[in-house]
Amino acid sequence: MKRISLVLTLVLFTVLGAVAQIEKPVTWAYAAKKVSKTEAILYIKANIEDGWHIYSQNLKPGGPSKTTFTFTPSSDYALNGKTTEPKAINYYDENFKMNVSYFGNGVTFQQKIKLNKGATTVKGKVEFMVCNDKQCLPPEEVSFSIPVK
């Protein structure tokens, strides 16, 4: 009898653990490419599961959380312009009662930098919100570290 109770308890905790898993529909990948001795481009890619999307950097206030990038200041490099993104999908979102711009499947953001040193590591964070047609997850912040050689 004790053995059956133990087995049932283990099964219950296994099922509860599977149900309570936090969804992570977005993963990030990073790369850098030197375009000259003093310039490089950072590539920050969001891989997004089917059915989910993240929002553009260019949203008006009052809607979902836009994607934002924050770079840690360093004397090794300087940002050259703003972080760029490809053309987003635009639509009127009934939930937010406004036009929004988003990316599904995946998107690669780019940031040009001016190098003050031959090699460096660019650190920072990206904050984003991910939604599907049923729910939005709370905004998430992910730190990154991109070597530039």
- Grade residue 74 by pLDDT with cuts at 50, 70 and 90: very high
> Which residues span the domain enclosing 64?
24-148
CATH number at residue 96: 2.60.40.1250
Across residues 59-69, what is the average pLDDT?
96
Residue 12 domain-assigned (yes or no): no
Mean pLDDT, rounded, of the chain: 89
The reported pLDDT for the residue numbered 11 is 41
Give the separation between CA 108 and CA 9, rounded to whole angstroms: 45
How many structural domains compose the chain? 1
Question: Is residue 102 one of the residues assigned to a domain?
Answer: yes
pLDDT at 3 over 70: no
- Average pLDDT of the segment spanning 119-141: 97
β-sheet bridge partners, residue 107: 46
Position 127 scores a pLDDT of 98
Q: What is the DSSP string of the chain?
A: -HHHHHHHHHHHHHHHHHHTPPP--EEEEEEEEESSSSEEEEEEEEEE-TT-EEE-S-PPTTSSPPPEEEE---TTEEE-SPPB--PPEEEEETTTTEEEEEEESEEEEEEEEEESSSSEEEEEEEEE-EE-SS-BPPPEEEEEEEEE-
The answer as to whether 120 is a domain residue is: yes
